[in-house]
Chains A and B, each alone.
Chain A
Amino acid sequence: AQSVAQPEDQVNVAEGNPLTVKCTYSVSGNPYLFWYVQYPNRGLQFLLKYITGDNLVKGSYGFEAEFNKSQTSFHLKKPSALVSDSALYFCAVRGGSSNTGKLIFGQGTTLQVKP
């Protein structure tokens, strides 16, 4: 069965410090991996995705994520956090063998950036 795990409910970082939000996955076939961000009472905004190619994917707002096949991980990173990055982050995966387009979401990680 396909699954996504975000092991941290909350991540706290100081503004200007690097941040990492962790994600591991389990799928059949090659994974298609996504990161989304959600601000309070809003829908999800797409940040980045990995389909194939370079393991390091760059996305919106200075975020990037590294696909690691051996560790089945797709951690989200940013070199220097901003207070405005504080939000709820979701990792999602779609199995390469899936033809329905359905995404499986992790439980979400709240990022809190303090000034």
Chain B
Amino acid sequence: GAVVSQHPSRVICKSGTSVKIECRSLDFQATTMFWYRQFPKQSLMLMATSNEGSKATYEQGVEKDKFLINHASLTLSTLTVTSAHPEDSSFYICSASGGGGTDTQYFGPGTRLTVL
């Protein structure tokens, strides 16, 4: 199956700093990448959808100036949490799809963000 990586797997930062999370599709070209947030023992909450070379589409209630998404190539998308606060602590998961309505989303292993 298709492989998606995320880096870092865990990050601890101080309140007010910015954190960048990378998502890479290793063996396929990802036309579309998705960023999710997951709280403990809960389902995934879609934050935004990004297509290569265009601006991300954010879900309602997600601050685009706080969660900056860049999808500069067909294999890399980044999520930057700007001026992070403790309430931003969460498990962030990306997924990648080769495109097309029937295509499968393949998920990265996730990034555990802890903001002190």
Contacts and interface: CB of A to CB of B under 8 A. Distances in A.
B101 A105 contact: no
6 contacts: A43-B6, A99-B101, A102-B46, A103-B34, A103-B46, A107-B43
B49 A100 contact: yes
B54 interface: no
Interface string A18-52: 00000000000000101010000111111001010
B50 to A, nearest CB: 11
B70 interface: no
A106 B101 contact: no
A98 interface: yes
Query: Could you say which of A42, A43, A107 has the most chain B C-beta atoms within 10 Å of its C-beta?
Result: A43
A96 interface: yes
Interface of A: 32, 34, 36, 41-46, 49, 51, 90, 94, 96, 98-103, 105-108
Nearest to B98: A101
B112 A36 contact: no
Interface residues of B, number: 29
Given A34-B105, A43-B6, A100-B49, 11 more contacts: A41-B112, A43-B108, A43-B109, A44-B95, A44-B107, A46-B104, A49-B104, A100-B57, A101-B34, A101-B100, A101-B105
B59 to A, nearest CB: 9
A85 to B, nearest CB: 18
B109 to A, nearest CB: 4
Interface string B73-116: 00000000000000000010101010111111111111010000
A105 B1 contact: no
Contacts of B34: 101-103
A111 to B, nearest CB: 14
A42 B110 contact: yes
B105 A103 contact: yes
B106 A46 contact: yes
A108 B43 contact: yes
